[in-house]
Chains A and B, each alone.
Chain A
Amino acid sequence: MSTPLLCIREVAVRFGGIVALDGVSLDVASESIHAVIGPNGAGKSTLLNVVTGLYRPAAGAVSLAGEKIDGRSPHRIGRMGVARTFQNTELFGDMTALENVMVGLDRHHAYGILSGLTHAGSYSSAESAARMEAESLLELVGLSGQMEVKAATLPFGNQRRLEIARALATRPRLLLLDEPAAGLRAAEIEELNRILLKLRAELGLTILVIDHVMPLVMAISDRISVLNFGRKIADGEPEYVRKVPDVIKAYLGDRADHAFGA
C-alpha cells in the first residue's frame, strides 16, 4: 500500500459531556476508496467535520500528505485539496448548476478586482475558461443537459451529482462524501458507483465515503473502517470487515446478509 494521503491520529471530539469521537485513528491510502460505516450516532459525520475543519478535535491530529490540518479554518483546508459533499446537500440553490460548479473553479481561473470592476483585461478569457471546465465537470457526472437549471429545482439524485461536480471543481486531492447514496434508488446508486470509480481512474482521486448503504460501500471500497459509539471497532478490506463478529453485532444485527445486499 502506498503512503496514506490522510492520517487521522487518536482524534477525540466531545460535545459537552457527550463523547462523539474517542481516540479514532484512520489512514486513507492515496488513490483509494475508503469507506467509514457505522450506525447512527457512531461519529461518522463528526469525523468528516473534523477533517474539513468544521469541528476542532479536543485531542489528536489530522494531516493531509504530511501537513497538519487540524485547527485550520475550513476554507484553508478546502484550498489544501480537501473537498466534500453534504449529507442533506448544501447547494447554492438559486444559482444554476453551472454557476454552482464555477464557484469552486473561480480560484483556479482568477483575475484581479480591477478586471472584475471593468470586465476588461483577463476577465473574458478567465470566465470562459472557468465555464468550459465547469461544463466538462458537469458532463463527467452526467448533468450536461441541465447546466442552466437552478440547483434547487434539480431532482434529488441530480443534486447529489451536482455536489460531486462542485466538489471536483476545487481540484481536490481528497474527496469526502457524506452519505452520497442516502435517498437514492438502486439504479441511481449503481450510477453513482460508476462515477466514483471513474473519478479515481481518470483523476487519481482519493475518496473517503461515509455511508449506510451497503451495496455502494461493498462494491467499490478498497478498505472499510467501522465506527460504533465514537470508537473504531474494525478496519480492513470489505471481505474481512463483513465477517468481524463485533461489526455484525453492533451494526448489521441479525440480518447481516440481507444488509450487505449480497
Chain B
Amino acid sequence: MRVVAIIVGLALFLIAPQVLPEFRLFQVCLIAATALVVLGQAVVTGFAGQISLAQSAFVGLGGYGAAILTSSWGLPLWIAIPVTAVVVGCVGFVLGQATLRVSGHYLALATMAFSAIVQLALIHWDSLTGGASGMPVPTLQIFGYNFSTGRDLYYIVLPITAVLFVMTANIMHSRFGRGLTALRQSETAAEAMGLDVLRYKAVAFAASGFLGAIGGGLLALLSTYLDPAQFSITQAVYFLAVAVVGGLLSVGGVIASSALFVLLPELLQSFQSYLGLVFALLLLGFVVVRPDGLASVVHIAGFAKGPRSRETP
C-alpha cells in the first residue's frame, strides 16, 4: 500500500510538469507552500490543542529572514531559508515557553500580540526590511542555475513539502505524537504520567514556527516581493481558518484545504470583492456542520485519518 502510494506520487510529480502550463505549476507550488504553513498551524492548534495566531508572524519572519540573509549577508538563499527556519523555530519555542502559562482566549491574545509586534517591526525597521514599501526577494540560485519560474520552483517546493509532510506524519505516529495527543485530551493525566506538558507544547510551537518559516521562505520565492501588509493579524486568522477547514488533525485535510483556499479566488473571480465573505461562510459552515473539517468529507484513503486511528503496521 505504501509502496503503491510512493510510486503513484512520484509518477504524478514527474508527469505534472509535462502536462500542466506554467501558471498551474505556479499554483501547485503556492498550494504546497501554503500547506506547509498550515501544517505548522495544525501541529500547534490541532495536535497540541493550543490556539495560536502567530502563524503569519512566523511566515513573515521566514520570508524576510531569508531575503535579508541573502541580500545583506550574501548567504545563498537555499541555505538562508533553512537557517532562518531554525532560528524562527527557536523563536517559536521561546514564545511557547513565555505564553503557554496561559491558555484559551488569553493564549490567542498573547500570540496575536506577537503577530502585531512582528508586523510593526517589519514596517518600522526600514534599514533592514525596506519599511512599509517592502523589499524584493533575491532569485534562488543553486550551483549557478536560476530558479525563477513556477516550473523551476516546482522541483524545489514540492520535494521539500513532501519530505516535511512525511516527517510530520511520522512524528505524529511516534511517542512524541502520542504525548501530544494525550495532553490535548487531559493535561492533568498527561502530567501524572510524567509528561512535561509545557515542554511538549513549547516544542509544538517551535515546530509551527519552523514549518511556518520554511513555508514563508518558499512563499517569498514564489511572490518575489515581500510586503509587510501580507503578514497581518488578518492573515494569521486566515491560516487558522484554512487549518480548521482542513480538520486540524489530518495531514491530508491540510493539503485539501490549502488547495481549496488557493484555488477558490480564481473560481470566484467575478465575486472578487465578496471573497472574504465566502471564506468566512466556508469557515462557519465547517465549524457548525463538519467540525472535523475536510478530512471527514474527503477521506483520502488512509491519509486523511488522524493519527489516533492508525492501524497496526
What residues of chain A have their CB less than 8 Å away from a CB belonging to chain B?
52, 54, 73-75, 78-79, 83-84, 86, 90-96, 99-100, 102-104, 106-107, 109-111, 113, 115-119, 123, 126-127, 130, 166-167, 169-170
Contact = CB atoms under 8 A, between A and B. Distances in A.
Query: Which of B167, B175, B188, B196 is packed against the most chain A CB atoms within 10 Å?
Result: B175
B192 A110 contact: no
Contact of A103 (B174, B182, B188): B182
Interface string B152-188: 0000000000000001001101111111011001101
A52 B192 contact: yes
A84 B308 contact: no
Given A79-B194, A104-B194, A107-B194, A92 B189 contact: yes
B192 A92 contact: no
B182 A75 contact: no
A255 to B, nearest CB: 36
A52 B177 CA distance: 25
Contacts, number: 97
9 contacts: A75-B192, A75-B195, A92-B185, A94-B308, A106-B175, A109-B175, A111-B175, A116-B174, A119-B170
Given A75-B197, A99-B308, A106 B185 contact: no
Contacts of B170: 116-119
B190 interface: yes
B308 A95 contact: yes
Nearest to A84: B192
Contact of A74 (B179, B185, B191): B191
Interface in B183-228: 185-186, 188-197
Query: Which of A52, A83, A92, A110 is packed against the most chain B CB atoms within 10 Å?
Result: A92
A91 to B, nearest CB: 7
Given A75-B195, A86-B189, A93-B185, 14 more contacts: A75-B196, A78-B192, A84-B192, A91-B186, A91-B189, A92-B189, A95-B178, A100-B182, A111-B174, A116-B171, A116-B175, A116-B177, A127-B175, A170-B193
Nearest to A151: B185
Contacts of B188: 54, 74, 86, 90
B273 to A, nearest CB: 41
Given A78-B191, A104-B193, A92 B167 contact: no
B36 to A, nearest CB: 15
A166 B191 contact: no
Contacts of B176: 113, 116
Contact of A118 (B167, B175, B190, B193): B167
A51 to B, nearest CB: 11
Nearest to B193: A104
B193 A78 contact: yes
Going nearest first, the 9 A-B pairs with the smallest beta carbon separation are A78-B194, A116-B174, A106-B175, A90-B189, A74-B191, A79-B194, A92-B185, A117-B167, A103-B182
A9 B173 CA distance: 44
B186 A103 contact: no
B207 to A, nearest CB: 10
B201 to A, nearest CB: 12
A86 B170 CA distance: 31
Nearest to B191: A74
A79 B188 CA distance: 14
